[in-house]
Amino acid sequence: MKKIELEIVALSHSITQTHSYAVVLGEVNGLRRLPIVIGGFEAQAIAVALERMNPSLPLTHDLMKNFMIAFNVELHEIVINDLQEGIFYSKLVCSSANDTVEIDSRTSDALALAVRFGCPIYTYDNILDQAGVLMEDDNRKSENVAPASVTSETGGKDNLKSLTLDELNSLLTEVLEQEDYIKAIAIRDEIKSRGK
């Protein structure tokens, strides 16, 4: 089967499941999108890597990357290779000096590692046919402006817009102390939009 390359185009609070997030993968040079519901921890791990944030202590996926580098294991690609009863299954394609192996992984963990290693993400047509969504061509053009947008459960940008700059900075400090990096990204973006 021919592999189809995907990229992360959005990460947001899930509308369908409380305390969950959705990562939206988009077909490179195509109009299909693949939304995947993931947990909060994995969403934060992906957001931290996408935004190139440096947490005070390494997250689990950072530890995994450091472990792989220390033992000369390269992550070449991840492949979302199966979908059963609404659950996506993935493989990490890794190599060492002697061997190339495929390791089963939760898709959310595979995505968190792919972002850290900068490796490609692939799937197959049958998975996009089962769970994908076809976007209008106009939507694709607007997504190219911000390839991986992150929204949060802070109530969205409208609530943040009503806060003063001092309140935003205080809130940013508070959420960083709580290690809620998804909220921190939304707050930081609002501060940046005000020119500071």
- Give the model confidence (pLDDT) of 19-37 as tens digits: 678 898 999 999 899 989 8
- What are the tokens at 74? 């390269």
Give residue 94's pLDDT band: very low, low, confident or very high (50, 70, 90): very high
Distance of CA 77 to the CA centre of its chain: 15
Structure tokens at 2: 């021919």
**Distance between CA atoms of residues 30 and 76, nearest Å:** 22
| pTM of the shown model | 0.72
CATH topology of domain 3-150: Bifunctional nuclease domain (3.10.690)
- Domain layout of the chain by residue ranges: 3-150, 154-196
Helix spans in the chain (H) = 40-50, 60-70, 107-117, 125-131, 137-143, 157-161, 165-177, 181-193
